[in-house]
Homo-oligomer: A and B are copies of this chain.
Amino acid sequence: MRNYKGIISYDGTHYLGWQKTRMGPSIEEELEKALSTLLRHPVQLQAASRTDAGVHAKGQVINFFTHVDIDFYRFSKGINALLPQDIRLLSLEEMPQDFHPTLTALGKEYVYEICSSTIQSPFFRDRSWHFPYKLNLEDMREAVKTLLGTHDFSSFCNDRNLIERDPICTLHSIDIEETSNHHVRIIVQGNRFLYKMMRNLAGTIAYTGCGKITADSLSDILLSRQRSLAGMTAPAHGLYLQRVLYSL
């Protein structure tokens, strides 16, 4: 059997998240359906990240096994015609048998988009968090230095069970960019992310931008291991799984 790695992009607005559920549409179900139809055999997917309802992806990574020798150029036309327009297969390549989208990954990059203007453009309504407060980017950049490196991120995780298992993560970089007037992008690379950690980080970093949380208190929040002390969980529709990092 051949092991294929695919890169997927999706607008998560109309889905209950990556994972299959009986409650409604999921990215996984749509992809499995399209791949099974085109390959003419049942396909089982594994994904690098089980994104939540409403979360988007520009570089989700999946793998699946098939005996079919796939020519990507022709295959991509077929699969993207079968998929709904808000899910696209961007690339596909054959990998060694032991490739696994999560287990062989070094980490992930997430992007969180904030719109801080008084009135949000209708074109960003499902694609950025409308947080209509003046943000001081220098304060945000100063504050996030505290979060870099290896720490116990319990204060940023919404799942007690997960915290008890292993709350230690390493954040390699946090960049704060102004992409246009009143649009701020937070880009985080890390080896792993706890449940809702990226949205809790985004909510907390936004609070440092409008003065609700200072750089000093952010350090205390991290050490406290108390979820209740950190900022709000920023909404799902501002979050993008940007890419998954592999060694090569």
Contact = CB atoms under 8 A, between A and B. Distances in A.
A97 interface: no
Interface of A is mostly: mixed
How many copies of this chain does the complex contain? 2
Interface string A110-121: 000000001111
Interface string A24-62: 000000000000000000000000000000001010000
B9 A125 contact: no
A220 B118 CA distance: 49
Contacts of A123: 9, 11, 56, 127
A173 B74 CA distance: 40
Nearest to A12: B122
Nearest to A84: B122
Contacts of A9: 121-123
Contacts of A89: 119
A178 B10 CA distance: 24
Contact of A87 (B56, B90, B122): B122
* Closest 5 pairs between A and B when the two form their complex, measured CB to CB: A11-B122, A85-B125, A86-B122, A88-B122, A88-B119
Interface in A52-110: 56, 58, 76, 80, 85-90
